[in-house]
Structure 1
Amino acid sequence: MMKKITIVAGISAMFFATACKTKDLKMNVEQKQLVNNKKEVVYQVFTRLFGNKNTTNKPWGTIEENGVGKFNDFTETALQEIKDLGVTYIWYTGVPHHAVIRDYSAIGISNDDPEVVKGRAGSPYAVKDYYNVNPDLAVNPENRLQEFEALIARTHKTGLKVIIDIVPNHIARKYEGKSNPVGVRDFGADDDTTVEYKRDNNFYYIPNTHFEIPDTDKPLNGEKNPLIDGKFAESPAKWTGNGSRLAKPDRNDWYETIKVNYGIRPDGSKDFPELPAGFDSKSYQEHFKFWKGKDVPDSWDKFKDIALYWTAKGVDGFRFDMAEMVPYEFWSYMNSAIKINNPNAFLLAEVYNPKEYRNYIHLGKMDYLYDKVETYDKLKDIIQGRSLPDGLSDIQNGMGDIEHHMLHFLDNHDEQRLASPEFAGTPQKGKPLMVVSTTISTSPTMVYFGQEVGEAGNENAGFGTHSRTSIFDYIGVPSHQRWMNGGKFDGGQLTKDEKELRDFYKKILNFSLNSSALMGKYQEIQTLNRQTTQGYDPGIYAFTRWSDTQKLIIVTNFSWLTTSNFELKIPSDIIQKWKLKDGNYTTTDQLYHKSAVQLQVLNGEGKAQITIAPSESFIYQL
């Protein structure tokens, strides 16, 4: 009996008191919610680098020397190409006006002191004015907000949605709200600076003490600047963004930023209403109702108003920097307000403590968290030869109740480039990681611009160093620039290998957008095959995904050296769940549409002969 099938073969706490019951309940509810949903794909762009055509790449170079990208570089052609890659959201990183070393005093912006700014272009996470955008990104800096509003409109016209950053934990050392709406008071404007802590102060203070410049490398690489004088006027000194209480921060502290006070006393106790027991299972509407009329710290209202300001301008979601440094009660307060205004808002948080994941999802009402500590770190260990892939199954099963909320990525502005020698070593060795990262769960996938053409981040930009594309300097991104091709966005300068790599990303991302199985169930077949299958090499990893209408098997070869030949086994319980009768089934690769294997079901168990080359991926549909 021959039947046509599609299978995918590719590459492969802190719980609440009622954890067990709640876990099962949430899994059932979530599975129902996912039935009609599709994968989301986020494309992160570092906005000032995306459109930069300059290839000079001088360390510590100025805008005039190294160039800078603009909002207007995101043309409809560029945005359409990003969408066609298989993207649903674009995260414009570095949009809010942050401290920069450039003279914009002619349009009413004060100059920033290089001694409390990282790099020349500045850190995007030292925001100076939350109600406006980075003047570097505008053709006409005076009209910078209007240029960004036009970009939002262009992005929506293309069918993409917009994400920007909000950094509630800290702000720039020299914050100046020059663009505040009527009635909005600046951060710290009403603080009592005679005390270390008061609930409605926006900052923590070191009374009767002057801030001192940390002992760092020479600002601007020793270049002369009238503001480089060993001094920065801040009296009394404030706590630094990472929580340092020193008037003279260490060089490794986040000395360019100030810690925001959310009503956490210096001893760590909470000075605000706490959520009642059982609110982990409540909706955002019920969270919003709980906070209505409550007296909350002033900083809570300030950041809620900032989020709603950008929501009203058409921003579809936010990426929240270092979210776990801010109490989840605040997130409940702000995120529920955002969702009331836009129920479909995409709320992504940078959280690295697995014991706190469920608090920030269920109590903080986050949609998604970084899956960095678990899946990302494991994949990096595997490709660097420090770990077998078998542990991926434990990670996926351990996060089964929240896996949809754990955004997967292999590259972002904080991490070493996937293709760099410090990570995978080559773009091709990154392929199996990309297939597993994209297909192992229902979570969104994120790609960092240039990843899809093998950008390795080899430049020493000045403040930023190689392996990470600098977020502090004016610099070019060579592989991405070859795809950009002088603004044509057609890949005209890409090498053959770079074109092939982008085609691979386009196939896997678009497949993920349209696969019902990837929004369905997961079951590993790794353990059975590792224990019983001859020729099942250490670099192989295999698992299954399925829905009512699609059955997938994902097989991965992380090895860079070994072609593997083996008879893959599909256990009887999966065959039963898939309702397969004994017989032979032809399966077809969905990634490259090149190969097919026969799945033989005999006595209720399945097997298929697999030959998989180093770093190879297949997608077969049953």
Structure 2
Amino acid sequence: MRSNKIYILFFMLVTIFVACDKEKQPEEKQTMKIEKSAHKKVVYQVFTRLFGNTNTTNKPWGTIEENGVGKFSDFTDKALKKIKDLGVTHIWYTGIPHHDVIRDYTEFGISNDDPDVVKGRAGSPYAVKDYYNVNPDLADNPAKRLAEFKALIKRTHKAGLQLIIDIVPNHVARNYQGLTNPEGVDDFGAKDDKTVVYDVNNNFYYVPGEAFKVPEWQNGYQPLGGENNPLADHRFEEYPAKWTGNGSRAAQPDVNDWYETVKINYGVSPDGRKDFNELPEGFENKNYQKHFDFWKDKKVPSSWVKFKDIALYWIEMGVDGFRYDMAEMVPVEFWSYMNSAIKMKNENAFLMAEVYNPDLYRDYIRKGKMDYLYDKVQLYDTIKNIMQGHGSTDHIADIEKWKKDIEHHMLHFLENHDEQRIASPEFAGNALKGKPAMVISATISTSPTLIYFGQELGEPGAENAGFGSPSRTSIFDYIGVPNLQRWVNDKKFDGGSSTDEEKSLRDFYKRLLNFTINSSAMMGAYQDIHHHNRYHTEWYNDKVLSYVRWDAAEKLIIVSNFNDSNHYGFDLQVPNDIIKKWNLKDGEYETEDQIYHKNKPTLKVEKGVGYIRIDVEPLESFILKLK
């Protein structure tokens, strides 16, 4: 879920270089050494209920019976092997915790959900209704849905993949009801004092004396597209009203608010006072064990304990990590508390989060003990502008310089469930324009790479599913994903119905991603050579990007052409300082492209400067490895 006010700070930040190479504490050095010795990680985000759905009806607002739905069981051994073979190390199953859905599951003891506070027919995965169970839509037998998910965990691990699910600490569904809480676990709000706006141990914020009112619908919108439903009566009983997930304090939120959710109280008063301990100065340099020890004897708000217990429940079940929704809307001290507890159970847990304000990156990484944050406001937004034809590659080196001290922690992506599909007209209109961008995103740093399911097949997200609009694959309704369905090929998972263009694109992604997870240089050094060549190389321009990556075993020269119509030819220079670092003498050195192994230009070193002839076609990239 995206904040209504994204922090657009990039263009102020790219011109600022913050020297963050401070001396690290011994324990931090040890942590970084462990991280740097690992290979690159690749996360495959899959919207779980859409992956195995072979139904192609795609009726707006269609029911499960009309449009179909995917199941846990669709992730067969073969399907998981094919995902892993793409070059994937982690799979993020989106939409696992039980969230609101408009379907009658009362025979399984599940209450019906009210369309007036549910977005779409299949519901938002970010309006969680029960954190101790899973979405019944995903089970072949809803009565055994948790057992079916546990079986999926085993299959995923058997395939050699680690798995991630969502936790949404900022808000829960308006009608949260924990039907399967472990013994001794109270529901959110069960012990709240509802006569006050705020109490440190209340789980919610309240509007005392006022009842909740459903938003006034606008622009012809009606829940379920206007379909007759006994619960779609523009009423929802909630007294007193609770604050809405995005922070609206009105008893009647606006239609553009996150009206289907309520905000969790983490001990921050309405005037901003923090009613909990803050981390001592210098604690950003302490490891997770020290953070865990710090909180052991501290009294913390009730909501902190509830979400920590939820996270540990899933970790103990075998989940390998979490993606945290809108993490910056929750105090960083809470993340220190919860993430350190998770790491004490599983030090290799994969913890990634949405944080869109670059000013907060270092706090949420160092104090909050996040492993990875979205590199959205800087790298993604810049690359998107370039792909759309109105941006410049000149900005990218400045971005990498600004985040040099945290580059390993900035997760790279070109698509996810919040973003437009590359192939959609609203983004680039052509999946091939993602090829040079994908090379840059996957190779410019040591950080993980995220791929959204169907991205590797050029899925355009063109379907009108009901709630929302095309260009993003719907997360709110039952729908099919056409390009992916052709690859799924009646659950053969072999691409048998894919077009030649789709097969070729997937082959590109497979070659690139497998190279990155096997290349030691991907976890080594980076240096920009783009700006040197902008000043010293004829015909080189700001639609091309170049840099080098290396370690003791590999030396790589990476060149990408973002222009979709122009071929470029130039003698790329590798500056003297890099030649010295690589210990190269004057002479000739063979190279070979690591994507298709066809291009093999020679690097010539003369008077300590390297020259390599580059002839690059539109949207073409090379990863040239010195032999």
**Pairing 1:361-380 to 2, within 5 Å after superposition:** 361-380=365-384
**In structure 1, what residue type is equivalent to 2:84?**
K
Q: Secondary structure at the match of 1:296?
A: coil
Distance (Å, rounded) in 2 between the aligned partners of 1:88 and 1:408:
15
**Pairing 1:171-320 to 2, within 5 Å after superposition:** 171-216=172-217, 217-320=221-324
Tell me the CA shift for residue 465 of structure 1.
1.5
Change over 3 Å in CA distance of 1:353–1:239 after alignment to 2: same
Q: Secondary structure at the match of 1:65?
A: helix
Distance (Å, rounded) in 1 between the aligned partners of 2:407 and 2:255:
37
Alignment correspondent of 2:502: 498
Distance (Å, rounded) in 2 between the aligned partners of 1:368 and 1:442:
11
1:486 corresponds to 2:490: yes
1:605 corresponds to 2:570: no
Change over 3 Å in CA distance of 1:18–1:261 after alignment to 2: farther
Distance (Å, rounded) in 2 between the aligned partners of 1:364 and 1:249:
31
1:437 corresponds to 2:441: yes
Tell me the CA shift for residue 34 of structure 1.
4.1
**In structure 1, what residue type is equivalent to 2:376?**
K
**In structure 2, what residue type is equivalent to 1:304?**
K
Tell me the CA shift for residue 122 of structure 1.
0.3
Q: Percent identity?
A: 65
Alignment correspondent of 2:59: 58
Distance (Å, rounded) in 1 between the aligned partners of 2:37 and 2:314:
29
CA shift digits 1:444-482 (9 cap, x unpaired):
001000000110101111103110000000000000000
| Consecutive aligned runs of 4 or more in structure 1 exceeding 2 Å deviation | 17-36
Q: Assess if the C-alpha contact under 8 Å between 1:517 and 1:550 holds in 2.
A: yes
Alignment correspondent of 2:44: 43
Distance (Å, rounded) in 2 between the aligned partners of 1:345 and 1:18:
30
Alignment correspondent of 1:32: 33
Distance (Å, rounded) in 1 between the aligned partners of 2:474 and 2:499:
24
Tell me the CA shift for residue 24 of structure 1.
10
Q: Assess if the C-alpha contact under 8 Å between 1:525 and 1:542 holds in 2.
A: yes
Q: Assess if the C-alpha contact under 8 Å between 1:172 and 1:258 holds in 2.
A: yes
1:521 corresponds to 2:525: yes
Distance (Å, rounded) in 1 between the aligned partners of 2:287 and 2:25:
17
Higher RCO (CA < 8 A, seq sep 6+):
1
Normalised by the length of structure 1, the TM-score is 0.96
Alignment correspondent of 1:466: 470
Change over 3 Å in CA distance of 1:513–1:556 after alignment to 2: same
CA shift digits 1:226-254 (9 cap, x unpaired):
11122110000000000000000001000
**Pairing 1:324-339 to 2, within 5 Å after superposition:** 324-339=328-343
Alignment correspondent of 1:8: none
Alignment correspondent of 2:5: none
1:394 corresponds to 2:398: yes
1:453 corresponds to 2:457: yes
Distance (Å, rounded) in 2 between the aligned partners of 1:586 and 1:179:
63
Tell me the CA shift for residue 32 of structure 1.
3.1
Q: Assess if the C-alpha contact under 8 Å between 2:568 and 2:617 holds in 1.
A: yes
> How many pairs were matched up?
608
Distance (Å, rounded) in 1 between the aligned partners of 2:402 and 2:534:
20
Change over 3 Å in CA distance of 1:86–1:19 after alignment to 2: closer
Tell me the CA shift for residue 18 of structure 1.
11
**In structure 2, what residue type is equivalent to 1:548?**
A
1:589 corresponds to 2:589: no
Distance (Å, rounded) in 2 between the aligned partners of 1:182 and 1:242:
31
Alignment correspondent of 2:93: 92
Change over 3 Å in CA distance of 1:432–1:20 after alignment to 2: closer
Alignment correspondent of 2:4: none
**In structure 1, what residue type is equivalent to 2:412?**
H
**In structure 2, what residue type is equivalent to 1:146?**
A
List runs of 5+ in structure 1 lacking aligned partners.
Answer: 1-12
Tell me the CA shift for residue 23 of structure 1.
7.0
**In structure 2, what residue type is equivalent to 1:69?**
G
Normalised by the length of structure 2, the TM-score is 0.95
Alignment correspondent of 2:75: 74
Change over 3 Å in CA distance of 1:29–1:576 after alignment to 2: farther
Distance (Å, rounded) in 1 between the aligned partners of 2:154 and 2:48:
16
**Deviating more after overlay: 423-432 vs 231-240:** 423-432
List runs of 5+ in structure 2 lacking aligned partners.
Answer: 1-12
Distance (Å, rounded) in 1 between the aligned partners of 2:382 and 2:392:
9
CA shift digits 1:405-429 (9 cap, x unpaired):
0000000000001221211221111
Change over 3 Å in CA distance of 1:543–1:30 after alignment to 2: farther
Tell me the CA shift for residue 36 of structure 1.
2.2
Distance (Å, rounded) in 1 between the aligned partners of 2:471 and 2:236:
32
Distance (Å, rounded) in 2 between the aligned partners of 1:58 and 1:95:
24
**Pairing 1:406-417 to 2, within 5 Å after superposition:** 406-417=410-421
Q: Assess if the C-alpha contact under 8 Å between 1:323 and 1:351 holds in 2.
A: yes
1:545 corresponds to 2:541: no
Distance (Å, rounded) in 1 between the aligned partners of 2:263 and 2:70:
30
Distance (Å, rounded) in 1 between the aligned partners of 2:397 and 2:423:
25
Change over 3 Å in CA distance of 1:227–1:123 after alignment to 2: same
Distance (Å, rounded) in 1 between the aligned partners of 2:294 and 2:28:
25
Alignment correspondent of 1:6: none
Q: Assess if the C-alpha contact under 8 Å between 1:34 and 1:520 holds in 2.
A: no
Tell me the CA shift for residue 619 of structure 1.
1.8
1:533 corresponds to 2:537: yes
**In structure 1, what residue type is equivalent to 2:384?**
K
Q: Secondary structure at the match of 1:447?
A: strand
Change over 3 Å in CA distance of 1:541–1:23 after alignment to 2: farther
Tell me the CA shift for residue 167 of structure 1.
0.2
Distance (Å, rounded) in 2 between the aligned partners of 1:501 and 1:19:
39
Tell me the CA shift for residue 531 of structure 1.
1.1
Change over 3 Å in CA distance of 1:18–1:404 after alignment to 2: closer
Tell me the CA shift for residue 33 of structure 1.
3.3
Aligned-pair RMSD on alpha carbons?
1.5
Alignment correspondent of 2:168: 167
Distance (Å, rounded) in 2 between the aligned partners of 1:66 and 1:555:
44
**Deviating more after overlay: 602-611 vs 21-30:** 21-30
Q: Secondary structure at the match of 1:467?
A: coil
Distance (Å, rounded) in 1 between the aligned partners of 2:58 and 2:20:
53
**Pairing 1:9-24 to 2, within 5 Å after superposition:** 21-22=22-23
